[in-house]
């Protein structure tokens, strides 16, 4: 088994990290030297795929050839009310696929949200391999607590297309709680409120923490808080 990394595949930005000396170390993007990768994909004038900051910068010119906020369509039908709401805030072309899900136009071809997400994951994988100097084969990917099984399966499939074995899908608030050491070995449970102020969404989650682990008890928020990346 090769190196395993943790990935936050975000609506606005994505981040990858690895575990070293009992702490997480965030991976830099090879081009911008930034710790965050804008979740944007385009194809440049030479027909080359571009992922990240350069793709995001092209939005300023009014380009309709930049795919962003693709996470909003993961595992969603085209006719779903949430998909319709998301369509109000995008500038690229979207249509219903043969199976009723969403397809987006990139350059001269339509892609599924899974395929676009795989492109972002491939970039994170490549950056990680350059920094670590070894192959990255496995990943743990975080998803919003409101993601249903279909959305989680779509995320797992995107990881597979990116050449990653997805060892586990973890709810984002659970990952945040673990990162900050919110755990308990006491018999009496405690309740924790986690706010996730994302670039495109706001999630509020109540979790029950005890010696048996962390359990999500309630989820709320605004999944369309942001407009663009």
The residue-averaged pLDDT of 194-215 equals 82
Establish whether 71 is a catalytic residue: yes
What is the structure's pLDDT at 185? 65
What is the structure's pLDDT at 226? 60
The residue-averaged pLDDT of 1-19 equals 91
Domain extents for the chain? 3-174, 176-222
What is the structure's pLDDT at 183? 67
Predicted structure pTM score: 0.90
**Which span out of 27-31, 112-116, 215-219 was modeled with the highest average pLDDT?**
112-116
Reported as a single tens digit per residue, the pLDDT across 54-76 is 999 998 777 889 999 999 999 99
Pick the CATH number of 3-174 from 3.40.190.10, 3.30.420.40, 3.40.50.150, 3.40.50.2000: 3.30.420.40
E strand or H helix that includes residue 167: strand 165-171
Find the catalytic residue in 8, 101, 127, 129. Answer: 8
Establish whether 115 is a catalytic residue: no
Reported as a single tens digit per residue, the pLDDT across 33-59 is 899 999 999 998 888 999 999 999 998
pLDDT surpassing 60 at residue 102: yes
Percent of the chain with pLDDT over 90: 59
Find the catalytic residue in 127, 129, 172, 203. Answer: 172
18 neighbors 27 (Cβ within 8 angstroms): yes
Number of residues written out for the chain: 229
Cα→Cα distances 26→14, 17, 143, Å: 11, 4, 18
Strand 3-8 with 66-68, pairing: unpaired
What is the structure's pLDDT at 53? 94
Mean pLDDT of the chain: 89
Establish whether 30 is a catalytic residue: no
pLDDT surpassing 80 at residue 223: no
The residue-averaged pLDDT of 143-150 equals 90
Find the catalytic residue in 28, 30, 196, 208. Answer: 196
What is the structure's pLDDT at 184? 62
Cα–Cα dist 59/143, whole Å: 26
Establish whether 172 is a catalytic residue: yes
Cα–Cα dist 229/220, whole Å: 22
């Amino acid at each position: 088994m090769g190196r395993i990394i943790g990935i936050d595949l975000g609506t606005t930005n994505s981040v990858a990290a690895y575990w070293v000396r009992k702490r997480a170390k965030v991976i830099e993007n090879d081009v911008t030297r930034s710790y965050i990768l804008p979740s944007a994909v385009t194809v440049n004038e030479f027909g080359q795929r571009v992922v990240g900051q350069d793709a995001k910068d092209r939005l300023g010119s009014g380009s309709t050839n930049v795919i962003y906020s693709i996470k909003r369509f993961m595992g969603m039908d085209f006719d779903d009310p949430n998909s319709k709401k998301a369509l109000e805030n995008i500038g690229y072309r979207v249509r219903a696929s043969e199976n009723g899900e969403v397809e987006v136009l990139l350059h001269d071809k339509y892609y599924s949200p899974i395929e676009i997400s795989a492109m972002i994951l491939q970039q994170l994988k490549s950056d990680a391999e350059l920094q670590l100097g070894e192959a990255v084969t496995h990943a743990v990917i975080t998803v919003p607590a409101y993601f249903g099984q279909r959305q989680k399966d779509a995320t797992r499939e995107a990881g597979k297309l990116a050449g990653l074995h997805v060892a586990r899908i973890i709810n984002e608030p659970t990952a945040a709680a673990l990162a900050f050491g919110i755990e308990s070995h006491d018999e009496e449970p405690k309740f924790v409120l986690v706010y996730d102020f994302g670039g495109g969404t706001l999630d509020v989650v109540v979790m029950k923490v005890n010696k048996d682990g962390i359990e999500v008890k309630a989820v709320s928020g605004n999944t369309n808080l942001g407009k663009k990346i």
